[in-house]
Amino acid sequence: MVEYFKIGKLITVHGLKGELLLKHSFGKKTSLKGLEAIFIEEKKDSFIPWFVESAKIKNEEETYIKLEGIDTRESAAKFVQKELWLPAADFKKFAAKSAPAGLLGYSVINEKENIGDILEVIEQPHQLLCRLDIKGKEALIPINESTLQKIDHKKKQVVVSLPEGLLDIYLG
């Protein structure tokens, strides 16, 4: 099964010809050069591909994107507020190494135990929250200066020291 990573959200329609503005989490400017398709999750774990006709950089975290078959402002409007996803291989091509979203797929290690892989990174002002699946239950693990021990990019691991009892909240 292909693993998908959330890359951002379509935040508004741009112009009259169906272009959309993508707010992304790649951590660098990107024109998405070479990207054939993006995916929208219609139902849980059901990703529908939309082919990219063109894309151009707006700024560090935004890119204008034109999808095939979407040629009017009205047809583009139904995509506003939709989250976009990419297969893991495509995501890794576009994400900056230093971008928090670059931690997707990394294992979280607490007290030398692998507690799960990062499925989503939620950026907050003073910390990151990493969404994991631990024994079939969703858990949000804070990554901040008091919990983070190190990030090992070679082993794809985030080593943390979590407050006592935090995992018990999720695991009962």
Tokens of 83: 């989250």
Find all residues with CB under 8 Å of 42, minimum gap 6, and list them. Answer: 48
Q: Give pLDDT tens digits for 57-108.
A: 999 889 999 999 999 999 999 999 999 999 888 887 888 777 787 888 899 9
Specify the pLDDT at position 1.
62
Q: What is the pTM of this model?
A: 0.69
Structurally, what CATH architecture does the domain formed by 105-171 represent? Roll (2.30)
Find all residues with CB under 8 Å of 148, minimum gap 6, and list them. Answer: 158, 159, 160
Q: How far apart are CA 54 and CA 172, in angstroms?
A: 48
Specify the pLDDT at position 28.
86
Q: Does domain 4-94 have CATH number 3.40.920.10?
A: no
* Domain locations along the chain: 4-94, 105-171
What is the chain's mean pLDDT, rounded?
89
Specify the pLDDT at position 16.
94
Q: How far apart are CA 88 and CA 100, in angstroms?
A: 15
Tokens of 138: 């969703």
